[in-house]
Structure formats: structure tokens, C-alpha cells
Structure 1
Amino acid sequence: MWGKAAAVALLALAVGYLYHTGTDLPARALRYYVTTTTPPGATPTGAEHRPGEPSLERAIASAWETLITPPSRQWSKVAVGVNACVDVVVSGVGLLQASALDPGPGLDHEVLHSREDLKEAFIHYMERGAAAERFFSDEEVFQRIARAAAEYPGAKLYVGGNAALIGQKLASYPEITVLLCGPVGPKLHEMLDEQIVVPPDSLQESDEYHLILEYQAGEQWGSTRAPQANRFIFSHDVSNGEMSSLETFVASLEDFQPDLVVLSGLHMMEGQGRLVWEERLKEAVAVISEIRKDVPVHLELASMTDPDYMNSIMQEQVMPIVSSIGLNEQELLFLAQAGGGPHADLPSWDGVPDVGRVSDILLWILEEHGRSEPSAEAELTRIHFHTLAYHVLATVDGYWGNQAAAVMAGARVASTQACGVRTVDAEAVELKAPVAFSSSHGEPRAALTLDPAEPITVWRRGSVTFHFSPVLVCKQPLRTVGLGDAISAEGLVYSELKPQQMF
């Protein structure tokens, strides 16, 4: 009785707030809010299901099919580099238990030196449901763990490394020819799409292996329970860690003549130590600067822990010379923390990242480290942010086209790839994105809403336009590895560089 009364009171307060603040929630979104805050058996006015009306998930999936249209000018040749490997995907809890490790408290480690470090770091991220990637310093111990992982029941081998995964996704489009540079061993070469061109200098005698410890939503180990499905990645990978293929990559561009360059693997250098990455990063910047100015460069970021290293990438070196970046919620917050940006005092995201806070950080990156003003020396004009529940594409006005379709395409591929299907199955996914949110956490801020019939929300702040799309989250994901790479690749496929603006 009291629970029902409390729910009705909460509903009244919510509807009253929406009425007095003028927030114009679409009817479907309001019914969704009402339904999710009402006890079973209670059917408030306006929340009843209308015969023949599709679910929110079905409405969004149907709208995507209509609204996602290709750009008028498409990429024909894309060069991708420079990290590539073979992924060994295995149950994280199962492998650690088989390795005679006991559950306990989690603790993050910037570099893993032992099996105990591995266990603690895995638990630290599992209890947060967050992705992470770490370098394992002891080659002998890593090789023993890698052999155990490859022999573990149900272990699977896949194409791995951000560059190779992005290349694989791009190569699924017959009209795109892909050049892939990275340490490509015989096993990886065998698994690559035949449409991918690998320069002879990128081929090596042995493969680099990365171990992917996956966990499912609700999976428990000791007192740790995963709030959502994700994975923990670690390796002892010197070739990728030193970005040894970078010079080969840039040298190959002259013959290949790409109209888009995608760069990844910078995060791998962090585990090599400051003396190594300081010098190598300078060399990398010099090499990247040789790429023709009229060819846009997309940088795919990944998990990092050293704020000095991130600052070197962001402020002084790499970020100012690339046109576009892709990143997730962990990387976005770390950028703000490392560079003293908005919400840098936030230790971590609490559940689904607040859209207003995300918008603040994206705007700060483009204004402080991008080309938000025509007179700026930096080249950065586009950021593709992705988290489990939604994506945001932030672009400086005048440089990119078809971004509404691009962000929705990225969201759609997150749903299909996670579920292992070609088209969205509305019964296998669920909407976790907020239906009402703000354009900023501070002032001035606009109240924004999600309309499932047209699931793209757009707002502007200064010279930056934001495109928001919900993700239909797979209820039982088959594989979480590589989703971010597929999202960024798909977003790039549907993006168009405006010809009147050259980088």
C-alpha cells in the first residue's frame, strides 16, 4: 500500500516538474518514464500500451533503418595502423580460478608485474563494469598465463588490436580498400579479410597475443558482482608497445594515397616506461606530421593511466595534429582529469555517464585543444564519444557532414555486433539511455529529450554541434571486445568531410 502511494507521489512530482519547467517530453518517452516508475499492476493515465504501437526498442530500430543514410561522398581508400595482434578471449573468472587465484579486494595497477597484480586489477574493473587494458611486465609469467588461456575450455582466437579491428570493419564495405600496417604474424594474416592490403614490411614471423578476460552482467566472484558485461585486456606486447610499424605505415601512404587515415596504438607505449615513451612519442609526432594536410587523420584512443603521458598526447603532441578522435567514458574522464578540464574532480562515473557532463568535457576538448576558431592552429574538429547506453558526436561547424546518420550508425552497430546479428532484434535489446537530459551540467543549459520515433537529439554550444543517439543494449552479449573499434569505424564510414574545408 505504502509502496504504491510512494510511486504515485513520485509520479505526480515528476509530471509536475516537467509541466512547470516546460520540458516537452515526447509521448512515448513519458509513457516509458511512467511505466518504469510504476509498481506492477498499476496503470497510470497516459501510460497504457496502445494497441499496435511498437515498443520503444522497436520504434528506435525502425527509425534507424529510415534515418541512417550514406554520405554523398564516401571514402574509397583508408589506411589503418599501427597496432595488430591475435586476441585470446576467455572467461576472466574461469581462467583466474583455474590459475589457483582466490577472490579478494580489487586494486588498480598501472603496470602488472605478477599474477596477484592481474587478479587485483581484474576485480577492480569487474566490480565497476568498466573496460581496461594493461601491460604485463614479466614475459615468462605472461607466456605461462597465455598458454593456459589458449587451452582453457571455450577459449576463442580472434583478430585483435584496434587498428586490425577497425580495418576488418572497414573492409566489410566492398567499396573501401584498406591498408593495414602493424605487427602481422602468420595466424593474424590468415584471419584478416582478403580485402585488406598488408605491406611486406609489416609481416613478421610470430604473432603478438593479447589476453581478453571477459565477464558477464551479474557474474559474481567472491563478493564482487559485475554490474554489466565488459572485459579486461592485458599483454606483454613489445612490438605494439613501441609502435614499431609506425614508420612503415607512414612510408606506405605515398604509394597507397588514402583519403582517410586511422591511427591507433598510442596507449600501448605507456607500459614501456617514461624514458621510452617520451622519446618515441616525439618521433611518432614527427612521422605523423608528414601525412598530407588534406588527408584527415582519426585517432582512436584506449585505456591509459599516466596523466603525464595523456597530457603529452593531448596538449603538446598528437591531438593537435589529428582531425578526429574516438573514445569511451573512461578515456573521456581521464582526459579531463589529466588536463584539468571540466568535472576533473569526479573520481569515476556513477552508472550511465551524465550527458551534460559529457557535453561539457567534449566542448572543452574542442575549444582548448581543437579548431573551434578558424584562427586556431590545431586540426581537431570531431569527437566520437561512445558509452554503453548512448553515443555523442561533437563536431566543429563547417567541417563534417552526415553526422546524425554517423552517430546512429555507430549506435546500431553496437547493438548488432554485441548480439551477433545482422539487423537489430528488438526483443534481444533494451533501452538504457536517459529519455530526458541537459545540454550542460552547469549554466546555461537546455532541457533535452529523446523521441524514439526520431532517435537523434541535436544541440549547439558556440561553434560546436552535438548529435546524441541512444544505444539499444544487447541483453545477452556474445562478445564485448572490439565494440568501440567497430563503432568508430562505422561512424567514419557514414561521415563526410566537407570539401570546402581542408585540414
Structure 2
Amino acid sequence: MWRKAAGAALLALAVGYFYHTNPDLPEQVLQYISLPNPPIQSEPSLEQVISTAWDAIITAPARQWGRVAVGVNACVDVVVSGIGLLQALAQDPGMGRDHEVLHSKEDLKEAFIHYMGRGSAAERFFADKEVFQRIARAAAEYPGAQLYVGGNAALIGQKLATYPQLMVLLCGPVGPKLHEMLDEQIIVPPESLQETDEYHLILEYKAGEQWGTTRAPQANRFIFSHDVSNGEMSALETFVASLDEFEPDLVVLSGLHMMEGQGKPMWERRLKEAVAAISDVRSAVPVHLELASMTDKDYMNSIMQEQVMPIVASIGLNEQELLFLSQAGAGPHAELLSWGGIPDVGRVSDILLWVLEQHGRSDPQSEADLTRIHFHTLAYHVLATVDGHWANQVAAVAAGARVASIQACGLQTIDASKVVLRAPLEFHSSHSEPREKLSLNPAEPVTMWKRHNVTFHLAPVLVCKQPLRTVGLGDAISAEGLIYSEIRPQQPIL
């Protein structure tokens, strides 16, 4: 293009020179001379259109939270290359195999390969304390290993603390290293402080990374720990006792998944105690429950049915947790073993509706409190809410999608050249009839539909092409969605 422009310019100069020296130059010669047209502006990419639209639709709610209490799991994350650490532990590649509880380095290798091949996140308890400590030392000494704030509660607290107007209370097992890394705006009760830190090992892998015959379809991580304090939710009573004095507008609870590896007698007892504790606060303030990876269907059923889920107002979860929840409760599409790629929007919608109808308050006469589910997966997010209970959900789901892009790329704002749209441009409101065909409009990138008295909002995610860190994305997404959410006061039923 520049060669043509330069040539045209030179030709114009030459003609001008001859015209000046020879005024009788025939005018028709000039008809063959044309200066280059101005460069045509290229159309903005879909990623640019969506990013610009987000800036317009992400607006603060009319009534914002002032004080948020978060508990109860907290730790220090040691983040390393999964393949690199396993090779340093003298492990060879092989076949993947899932393990509900890890007992050896071999179990760790097999479980890591199992989930790496699927590109899925997972979290497991490592039963052998001594072996875990040896692995933890090797991880901390591995070249490039990084230490971060860890644990869903601490990560959500850290994200909330980036908003200066919020006061954040964090309860959990906070050791000296973690306390040093926490935002100074976070209040930690003295009873939550302990002499040693709990460590979680995060084995990351990149999209396309290969070990033996296993290739990762997308970037993700495998988490494991031998964490008794968080595993027993030892900070729960401190957390609840702190609420009277702190007087929060919102309570965020996480860490239930940590109890799964402690055995049924222990988690049955602690779940009942957790339910009793949460019941003491639920009438005054909404409670959001952040779920995480679990494998015990009996445990999930206890959380879902007669125990925790009906007494919280909101939950956050990813695609694995949503499908496992349906499998445990014989819900829609429970026959699926896995999603097999980007989860089908219609199937996701079916399961979300089922949860709110079976375990939530879609029936106004129900005694359940659950009215909101924030679902997130790599390519898109969905917020499902029972009508009349929540406001500003367009902004909330878009804010969650935006922070996923920004945090994964390690940036302050969206760089359209570093992200890619993977969400489906067309999808259905349900996998079964009756269903509505829907489409994604990049200029208005939140798609809404209704089923019965539940409203769904879908926002696409601009997926980071080369993510710097995947740990804590779900926690940041849920925290950001809550910041932009507004709960509507309910009139008592007479």
C-alpha cells in the first residue's frame, strides 16, 4: 500500500512540474492522475465491541454493600508448573486416573494427568501428612515457584478489599506469612491468627502443554493439600461469633469442600454445626456460598438438600461443580460424564432452573432462601435469579466476565489483541422443549431470557490467549458479581 501511495505522490509531483513549466499541457492528461484515497478504517473486532460495551453497562447498584464478612478457608498457595514438579519428584508420564483422596505421589500423578487431559480444575485432599510435607518442600524450592494468598475466603476478601468503600472481615486460619500478604484493609480477628500457615500446592498447566500422550486442551490447575485446620472448618465458630460485633451487610461463606476428605462422621457433625451457625445469621443478612470441587455424592447431597443450600441466598460455582451437583441429586443431564468442551447453554440453564426450583425459593411459599446462582465457565457466565429478589444483574454478570479476562491476562484493562471470544454466538434457553433460540449481540453483550419466574443473564468471556495465572479466577468472578449486585428487601408474608 505504501509503495502505491509513494508512487502516486511522485507522479503527482512530476505532473505538477511539467504543468508549471508547460502551461499548455493538455487538461485531459490530468484526468488520468488521482491521488490515493484515505486508508479505509478496519471494522472493530468482536472482542473490541464487547469490551467497549462492558464499560457502558457495568454500573454500580443503587444500594451498595458497606461491610462484608468472609470465611472460613484461608492458606498460602504455592504455585508451580505441574509437569515440572512431578518430574522433579521422579514421576514418569502415564495414564490418568481420578482419586477422591490422594495417598501417594503416584496417586497425585494419575489424578493430575486425568484432569490435565480434560483441561479441568480439581482439588483433592492428600491424606499422608509426611509425604505431603516432602512434596511441599520440593514445590517451594522448585525454580519459579510463587507464593500467593490462597483459600476461597481469603481470595474473595482480597478482591473485595480492592474497593475502598468496603470494610472486609476475614476469618480463617491465618498464619504469619498469609497475614503479611493480606491487604491492610482486611480485618482479621485475633482468634483467627495461628502460629503456622496452611499451604496448598497449585499445579498449573498451559493450553497445549503435553506430558507423555496427554495434552491440555486449555490452561487450568490441579490443587491439593493436607490441610486439617481448613478441613475441619476450625474457624467457623470464630467467624459466626465475630458477626454480631462487625454487623455485616453480606456474609460470604466458603470452605465446605475442604471437609470432604476428613471422613463421613466428621463432616456429618460439622455440617450440622455449620447449618446451626448459619441459621443464626441468615434472617438478618444474605449469605453467599462459594462451592468448589467435590467428589462424594453423599456429601454433596447433604449440602444441597436438607443442609446448607436452602439456607443461603446465593451460590457461586463452575461447570464441574454444577454437573456434579446434578449427578448427586439425579437432576437434569445427570447422565453426562463430563461436558466435553464448552458446556451447552441449554443444559446449564436446565440444571440452574432445577436447583432453584428444587432447593431454592422459586415457589414464594418455600422456606428456602436460595434465589441467586452465579455460574461461571471459561467461555461464558450465567446469573440465574428468582424474580423480585435481586437487581443490577446485567452489570453483575458483565463485571464478573470482565474481571475474568483482566485477571487471567494480568492486566488492568482489557487488551482486545490478547483475548478471544469463545462463547457460542447462538444457543438455546433449554436443551429440551419448550426452548427459545437466542443469539449473542456483541454491542449488547448480556443476553437475557426467562423460564417460569427465574431470569437468566448470560455474558460472554473474552478468554485470555496466554493466561498468566488461573488460580482464584472463580473467587474473583464471584466477588465482582456480588459487588455489583443489589438485593431487594422482602416484605414479610402475612
Could you state the TM-score of these two structures normalised by the residue count of structure 1?
A: 0.90
2:132 alignment counterpart: 142
Cα gap change, 1:148 to 1:379, in 2 (>3 Å): same
* Aligned equivalent of 1:88: 78
Counterpart for residue 418 of structure 2: 428
Give yes or no for contact 1:398–1:501 (8 Å, CA) kept in 2: no
C-alpha distance in 2 between matches for 1:52 and 1:259? 48
What's 2:36 paired with? none
Q: State whether structure 2 residue 228 is matched by structure 1 residue 228.
A: no
Query: In structure 1, what is the Cα distance between the partners aligned to 2:305 and 2:258?
Result: 19
User: Aligned residue for 2:394?
Assistant: 404
1:113 aligns with 2:103: yes
1:363 to 2:319 alignment: no
The separation in 2 between residues aligned to 1:490 and 1:278, in whole angstroms, is 32
Rounded Cα–Cα distance in structure 1 between residues aligned with 2:277 and 2:379: 37
Aligned to 1:97: 87
- Contact kept in structure 2, 1:63 and 1:453, CA below 8 Å: yes
Q: Give 1:281's aligned amino acid.
A: L
What amino acid does structure 2 have at the position aligned with 1:497?
I
Moved more, 286-295 or 308-317: 286-295
- Rounded to whole Å, the distance in 1 between the matches of 2:491 and 2:244 is 22
CA root-mean-square deviation: 1.0
Structure with greater Cα Rg: 2
CA contact (8 A) 2:61 2:484 kept: yes
Instruction: Report the Cα distance in structure 1 between the residues aligned to 2:363 and 2:412, rounded to whole angstroms.
Output: 41
Per-residue deviation, residues 267-295 of structure 1 (Å, max 9, x unmatched): 00000011111111111111111114130
Q: Counterpart amino acid of 1:272?
A: Q
Q: Distance in 2 between matches of 1:328 and 1:375?
A: 29
> What's the counterpart of residue 8 of structure 1?
none
Query: Does structure 1 conserve the Cα–Cα contact (< 8 Å) formed by 2:282 and 2:312?
Result: no
The equivalent residue for 1:214 is 204
- Please, which of 188, 191, 198 is the counterpart of residue 188 of structure 2? 198
Residue 53 of structure 1 pairs with residue 43 of structure 2:
yes
Aligned length: 454
1:299–1:292: structure 2 CA closer, same or farther, 3 Å change rule? Answer: closer
2:270 and 2:212 mapped to 1: Cα distance? 42
| Local SS of the residue matching 1:418 | helix
Partner of 1:377: 367
Q: What SS does the corresponding residue of 2:417 show, helix, strand or coil?
A: coil
Aligned partners of 1:292 and 1:370: how far apart in 2?
Answer: 14
Partner of 1:249: 239
Corresponding residue number in structure 2 for 1:44? none
Q: Please, which runs of 5 or more residues in structure 1 have no aligned partner?
A: 1-49
Deviations 1:111-153 (A, max 9, x none): 0000000000000000000000000000000000000000000
Secondary structure of 2:355's counterpart equals helix
Shift of 1:501: 5.2
Q: What is aligned with 1:21? A: none
Q: TM-score w.r.t. structure 2 length? A: 0.91
Residue identity opposite 1:291 in structure 2:
V
For 2:277 and 2:51, locate their aligned partners in 1 and report how far apart those are by CA, in whole Å.
Answer: 42
1:41 corresponds in structure 2 to: none
The secondary structure found in structure 2 opposite 1:234 is strand
Are the equivalent residues in 1 in contact too, given 2:206–2:219 (CA < 8 A)? Answer: yes
AA aligned to 1:460 is K
Does residue 303 (structure 1) correspond to residue 301 (structure 2)? The answer is no
Aligned to 2:11: none
> What is the one-letter code of the residue matched to 1:382?
R
Matched position secondary structure for 2:489: coil
Q: Secondary structure at the match of 1:373?
A: coil
Whether 2:238 is the aligned partner of 1:238: answer no
Counterparts of 1:147-296 in structure 2, within 5 Å, are 147-296=137-286
Q: List gaps (5 residues or longer) in structure 2.
A: 1-39
